[in-house]
Amino acid sequence: MEEFSFSGSSSDAVEALLDEVTTETQPQPLFDGSSLRGQIAIVTGGSSGIGRAVAMELARCGVDVAFCFLDTGSQARLDAQEVARQLRQFEVRVFFRHCDVRESKEVNAFVAEAIEELGGVHILVNNAGIGRDRALWHLQDHEWEAVVRTNLDGAFYFTRAVAGVMRAREYGKIVNITSVHGIRSEFGISNYSSSKAGLIGLTRSAAVELGPRNINVNAVAPGYIRTTRLTEGVPSENLDRARAQSVLGRLGDPQDVAGVVLFLCSEAARHITGVVIPVDGGYLL
């Protein structure tokens, strides 16, 4: 064992050791996902935030990508077109179009078109999600329904739509993007927490039902992740509190989540199913 000798105080010794530690503030794509090359993935909500980062990581590994987005206007369409352009720079095939994940008929049509266009599906990442924060005694019916139908119903519809193809192939990877708030709630997010807790239940149930056909179903539970929606929609004092509660003292990046999703989609995770992996910087500790 290497020995260290200091002539100063113990605090000097601690400072000297800390000076040798380099803080990496940006995640690096270290995982080798080359074994995924040639596979086909569907990513819901793939035009921004975590969904975009996941789609990019999959494409970087040679995975053909189909992604859906919610058409809320010209900017949403432009964003989706730009993501598709960036994905194609990895020389993979890309299929994308609008799909309201709350509508089962639209989901079935999107999945059928994606499979026809790309030739199948090996990976599903249920990422599409929204929040409508309000104290539960002020929460309107439409605010509850919109969140639960998007975050939970949408994941169920997509999982059901790909299950037959994956079962016939006897291979598949499904990753659900839940949240730390599906594990531990906060004030004003009863609809969001309920939907994300339900998604954890869906993950485990699907793992039990699909596992006999060699289909892995897992979930990733992000903490506070730096996305446009987060930074624009969450008060700064909440973000400061989230940083303080994280043992790493920082918010996460979409890339932090995408790296874990990539691992769960790979054969390195072939014997992992029905689990929920927090990506929260120690927020839940």
pLDDT of 265 reads: 98
HEC string of 23-47 equals: CCCCCCCCCCCHHHCCCEEEECCCC
| Dihedral over alpha carbons 31, 32, 35, 37 (to 10 degrees) | 90
Please give the residue that has the higher pLDDT: either 192 or 242.
192
pLDDT class for 238, splitting at 50, 70, 90? confident
CATH number at residue 248: 3.40.50.720
The single residue of 157, 171, 192, 224 carrying the catalytic annotation is 192
73, part of any domain: yes
pLDDT class for 241, splitting at 50, 70, 90? confident
Using alpha carbons only, what angle is made at residue 282 by residues 229 and 252, rounded to the nearest 5 degrees? Answer: 30
pLDDT class for 7, splitting at 50, 70, 90? very low
pLDDT of 5 reads: 42
147, part of any domain: yes
15, part of any domain: no
**CB contact at 8 A, 58 and 88:** no
The owner of tokens 């439409």 is 142
pLDDT class for 35, splitting at 50, 70, 90? confident
161, part of any domain: yes
Give the contacts of 208 (CB within 8 A, at least 6 positions apart): 274
pLDDT at 145 over 60: yes
pLDDT at 212 over 60: yes
pLDDT at 68 over 50: yes
91, part of any domain: yes
Mean pLDDT over the full length of the chain: 90
Q: Is 283 a catalytic residue?
A: no
Instruction: Note the pLDDT tens digit of each residue in 149-170.
Output: 999 999 999 999 999 999 999 9
100, part of any domain: yes
21, part of any domain: no
Give the contacts of 22 (CB within 8 A, at least 6 positions apart): none
Instruction: Note the pLDDT tens digit of each residue in 70-124.
Output: 999 999 999 999 999 999 999 999 999 999 999 999 999 999 999 999 999 999 9
24, part of any domain: no
In this structure, how many other beta carbons lie within 10 angstroms of the beta carbon of residue 284?
A: 14
Q: Which of 29-43, 205-219, 227-241 has the lowest mean pLDDT?
A: 227-241
Count of domains observed in the chain: 1
**One-character DSSP codes across 156-188:** HHHHHHHHHHHHHHT-EEEEEE--GGGTS--TT
Domain span at residue 132?
31-279
Q: Would you give the DSSP letter of residue 19?
A: H
Instruction: Note the pLDDT tens digit of each residue in 183-199.
Output: 999 999 999 999 999 99
